[in-house]
Amino acid sequence: MTTFSTQLKKFRQERHLSQDELAKDLFISRQAISK
């Protein structure tokens, strides 16, 4: 069973998004993504 963080990282890498770009798209901080 994969965790949410693992799935999120895979999704982000497949779409060539940085943590910062994803955070901006989701209207949350980059620190929230990294956790």
CA pair distance 32, 1, nearest whole angstrom: 22
Percent of the chain with pLDDT over 70: 97
List the one residue out of 15, 7, 35 whose CA is nearest residue 25. 15
Q: Is the pLDDT of residue 8 over 70?
A: yes
Cα distance from N-terminal residue to C-terminal residue, the chain: 19
- Give the per-residue pLDDT at 24: 93
C-beta of residue 30 within 8 angstroms of C-beta of residue 16? no
Q: What is the pLDDT of residues 19-33, one digit of tens each?
A: 999 999 999 999 988
- Give the per-residue pLDDT at 21: 93
Please report the DSSP string for 1-35 in residue order: ---HHHHHHHHHHHTT--HHHHHHHHTS-HHHHH-
- Give the per-residue pLDDT at 34: 82
pTM for the whole thing?
0.68
> Domain coordinates of the chain in residue numbers?
4-33
